[in-house]
Each structure stands twice: as structure tokens, then as C-alpha cells.
Amino acid sequence: MTTTDSPAPTAGPVPAPPAASGMRRRVGELGALRAQVHAGPGEKATGAQHARGKLTARERIDLLLDPGTFQEVERFRRHRATGFGLEANRPYTDGVITGWGEVEGRTVFVYAHDFRMFGGALGEAHAAKIHKIMDMALAAGAPLVSLNDGAGARIQEGVSALAGYGGIFRRNTRASGVIPQISVMLGPCAGGAAYSPALTDFVFMVRGTSQMFITGPDVVRAVTGEEVTLSGLGGADVHAETSGVCHFAYDDEESCLVEVRYLLGLLPANNRERPPRAETGDPAGRRSPRLLDLVPAEGSRPYDMREVIAELADDEEVLEVHERWAPNILCVLIRLAGEVVGVVANQPLSLAGVLDIKASEKAARFVQMCDTFNIPLVTLVDVPGFLPGVGQEHDGIIRHGAKLLYAYCDATVPRITVILRKAYGGAYIVMNSQSIGADLTFAWPTNEIAVMGAEGAANVIFRRQIAEAEDPDETRARLVKEYRAELMHPYYAAERGLVDDVIDPAATRETLAAALTVLRTKTAEAAPRKHGNPPL
């Protein structure tokens, strides 16, 4: 049987690829549009932003949030305003990027002004996007971070833009005390726009590029004749040192946003949670013998309270709030045995640690913030009293000092006080004394708790006796010594139950850690009320 090869098949026409489906084509268009939105107004505008020493809004968000976690909201929104050429300029996002992401795995909401569009100015659509993300943050019970770089209200949209600010202020106030709100100033913030950061919990600024003011240099010059630059009027250093508006100031955006991330790691998501705990590897029972030499026994000799706080903190890591404003009092966030703690402390290196108007306001706001977000308070006392002077009295030291008193009395978090040396007069009472509700009060053997210093007390009590003495100086010295021995010895307050224990300074960290553990489950019932009426 013979076989023959089968004929090779003849090649027919190659079938055309199927036409792209409608869905695939639409998805392709979506991808292209998303890329366009992400690119923003173009390389020229981006170059101009970089030339100012500033990052773009998306670059800032990338630095703030964990990589790949940002979820944008309303990226395709555009304004609907007309007139003054607006109808021909309708960029996507309308100059603000909004959404949420994660910082160290925890949800954070964010909005960032895009200065490349309308100079970051706020219009109706722009404001509506911010309102939405603020509402979402409050509903989700998660922190809100605003990256501010805007030129104020969009003048072309008139009162509609101003109304947008009203909505932001109302939401700032509603969220106050519920979720952490952090304002990061990365460019100009002028006029009414400056009130939103002022309503938030923390304000960060960058030197050289960020300014905040209600009226700019031109208006100041026209009204008062004063000549001032943008930075001289409302720059980072001005607000960090003089006005107290700024809590943290940095030299560049990168380091600023790194510190924002660090602060978020110390705060709870909302007022119903505790701050996140972190294992630091620093033993709670670690002794600090350095404290025995760091703090002089003589009450008139200064020392740096920052070093004391660092000794008590886990791994000596501290985050000082308002470091350069009212330096006579320190407000610091630390971890102690892994738990976040707020520390309020007098600073003997500045004005001998006295309380004045600015120090009272600074500490009062810090105490309120800690109480709001369930952060226990440790108060380190070395205070000679309130700052005397006509200026202080006329500017309202009574009213402002009462702010700190009110804040402590109103706080329900664990409150522990350590008296290192001086605790004189009304300042002793205000600095979280046991009589205003401190849960536990400890003292070092160098403590002096009294109405006033021994010299002043002797001059008042024994004024006539000293005046009639043959040797007034010798008599005064003797009576001062007697007064100190009788009423100011280290155990006088402890004998009367005003101090719970006199402790070895080297054991302060261990003592605080044990006390905070016991007080961790503290509960406090407040009297029913709409809200208090604190002094202004």
C-alpha cells in the first residue's frame, strides 16, 4: 500500500484583531485622564514651585504617608464659576488634593493645597472638597493633617469663597477635642485663612517659605507706616518665638514632615482611644543616678530641666512643644515605660522658672490637649512664684494664670506631680498641687514647699523684731534659719499629707512608671454640663 503526503494547507487571510471593547476603551481613557490629573498643570508650574524652595502637593503627601497608601477623593472635581476668565481655567482637583492614607499603618486624612493652581487660593469647589474630607475624618475618628500653601480666598469667586472658610472653621471647632488636627504651613496663609490653623491642635512651619498673618506688609505699611517683610511679620521664627502661634519650626519641608509623622505616632486616633504603646527596650525600673548631680540642692542655682526630662524618658527621646515660646516652662511629650506621657515642667534656666502670662497660657493649652487625648500628665515643679511687675498685672496675669489652674482642675487623666526644689505661693497651687486634684504627689529631699521663700517670709513675719535688733543682719539670718527649719524642711508637707512620699531622685523614673501603671484605669465622673466657662 502506497501513501502520499497530505497537501499543505493553503494560507488564508489573517483575521483582524477584535475591536477594543467599549469598556476597555473607556478604561484606557480613564487611565490617561488620571495620569493627566496626577501630573497637574505641567512641568513649568512644577519648576516654578521647586524654584521657590517648595515641594508640590503630591510630593508632600508622599513624604507624609506610608508609600502606596494614599487614596484620593474627588480628583476630577472642577469649579463652575464664571467671569474674570475663570470659565477658561478649570483644572481638575481645583487646586486642592484630598484623601486618606496611613502613617505607620494607622489611618490619617489629609488635604494639601496645590499652589500651582490659582496660587492655592480657595474657591467654592475647593472648599467643598476640604469640607468633605474633614467630615470623613471626624466620622471615621482619625487624625486630620492639612498641608497649607494657599494665597487665601479666590477673589474672583467673591463671597462664595469666604463662605467656604466659614465651613472649614465650623468643622475645625466641631472636631476639636475629638480627633487630632495638625496644620502644616508650607507657604503663605493670609487673612481669614489663618484662623483655621489657629483652631487646630498643632501648627508646624518651615523657615523661609511659610508665613501667616491677618494683614500683609502692604496693608500694615499703609495703615501704620511700619516697614516689615513677609517673614518679619509672620514667618516661622516670629510665630515660634514671639506670638506662640507656631508649635514647631523647621528648616526644610522634609524634616518638618518627618516630625509630623513622629507626632502622629504619639497621639491616639481620637478621644475615645489611648495613645499607641511602643516597646522601647528601656527598663521601667532603670535608675537615674545622674539626677543626684544634675539638680543642685541650693535653690538659687540654675540647671537645665530638659536634661531631667530626658533622664526620665525612654531612650532619652523627647518632643518639646512650643520650644522657643515662653521658655520658662517646658511642655514635652515623652514615652515612659512605653506609654506616652505629657510633661509640664518649670525651667530654672529661664526667668528662674517663674510663671508669667505666656507660660500660663502655654502650659494650660498643653494640659488641655493631653487631657483631651487621654495622655497622662507628669508635672515637675521648681517654681519660685508668679512673675511680679506692673506690666504682668495690667496685662492680666490673674486671668491668664487662672487658665492653667482651670486646665489642671478640669483634667481627668492621671496626674502626678514631682516637686524637685522650690514650690512657693500660688504658683505651687497652680502647678498641679494635691489640693487641686493631683492623684499622686512626690517630692525630692531638696523640696521647699511654702507660702514664699524663707528670706521673704522672715522679712514679713519678723519685720519689727529685725528693725529693733542691735544687729539686724545677724537677727535676720537667724530668724530665716529658724523659719526654714520649722516650716520649710523637706518633710513638712509630707507630715501633713500634702506629699505622698519623699523619694530618692535616682528612683524617680521607677516611681513614675509604677504610679502610671496603677492609675492607668483611672475613671473620673464629671458633673453634667454643656461645657465649662474657662477664663480667657
The pLDDT mean for the chain works out to 91
pLDDT tens digit string along 384-394?
Answer: 999 999 999 99
Catalytic amino acids? 191-192, 426-427
| Spatial CB neighbours of 197, under 8 Å, sequence gap ≥ 6 | 146, 148, 183, 185, 189, 203, 212, 245
Please tell me the predicted confidence (pLDDT) of residue 450. 86
Question: Comparing 55 with 462, which gets the higher pLDDT?
Answer: 55
Contact 415, 377 (CB under 8 A): yes
Please tell me the predicted confidence (pLDDT) of residue 2. 42
Superfamily of chain region 290-447+490-520: 2-enoyl-CoA Hydratase; Chain A, domain 1 (3.90.226.10)
pLDDT average, residue stretch 125-130: 92
Please tell me the predicted confidence (pLDDT) of residue 15. 64
Q: How far apart are CA 513 and CA 341, in angstroms?
A: 10
Output the CA–CA distances (angstroms, integers) from residue 332 to 13, 374, 492, in the order listed: 79, 15, 30
Span(s) in the chain for CATH 3.90.226.10 = 52-266, 290-447+490-520
CA-based end-to-end distance of the chain: 115
Please tell me the predicted confidence (pLDDT) of residue 17. 59
| In the predicted structure, residue 480 carries a pLDDT above the cut 90 | no
For residue 147, list its beta bridge partners: 112, 184
Q: What share of the chain in percent tops pLDDT 70?
A: 95
Fold category of 52-266 in CATH: 2-enoyl-CoA Hydratase; Chain A, domain 1 (3.90.226)
Q: pTM for the whole thing? A: 0.91
Please tell me the predicted confidence (pLDDT) of residue 40. 83
Q: How far apart are CA 398 and CA 392, in angstroms?
A: 9
pLDDT average, residue stretch 89-108: 92
Output the CA–CA distances (angstroms, integers) from residue 497 to 98, 270, 381, 382, 504, in the order listed: 55, 37, 18, 20, 18
How is residue 376 annotated by DSSP? -
Residue indicated by cell numbers 543642685: 296
Please tell me the predicted confidence (pLDDT) of residue 20. 62
- DSSP string covering 258-313: HHHHHHHTTS-SSTTSPPPP------TT---TTHHHHS-SSTTS---HHHHHHHHS
Look at strands 339-346 and 329-336 and give their pairing. antiparallel
| In the predicted structure, residue 116 carries a pLDDT above the cut 50 | yes
Question: Comparing 520 with 472, which gets the higher pLDDT?
Answer: 520
Q: How far apart are CA 58 and CA 191, in angstroms?
A: 25
Q: How would residue 14 be classed by pLDDT, with cut points 50, 70 and 90?
A: low
| Spatial CB neighbours of 432, under 8 Å, sequence gap ≥ 6 | 344, 377, 379, 381, 408, 415, 417, 438
Please tell me the predicted confidence (pLDDT) of residue 82. 66
Residue 199's region, left for phi above 0, alpha for psi from -120 to 50, else beta, is alpha
Q: Across 87-96, 188-197, 251-260, which has the greatest mean pLDDT?
A: 251-260
pLDDT average, residue stretch 111-139: 92
Please tell me the predicted confidence (pLDDT) of residue 5. 46
* CA-wise closest residue to 417 among 379, 450, 453, 443: 379
Q: How would residue 8 be classed by pLDDT, with cut points 50, 70 and 90?
A: very low
| Spatial CB neighbours of 118, under 8 Å, sequence gap ≥ 6 | 89, 94, 95, 126, 151, 154
Q: What share of the chain in percent tops pLDDT 90?
A: 68
Please tell me the predicted confidence (pLDDT) of residue 38. 87
Look at strands 377-383 and 415-424 and give their pairing. parallel
Contact 145, 60 (CB under 8 A): no
Q: How would residue 13 be classed by pLDDT, with cut points 50, 70 and 90?
A: low
Q: How would residue 6 be classed by pLDDT, with cut points 50, 70 and 90?
A: very low
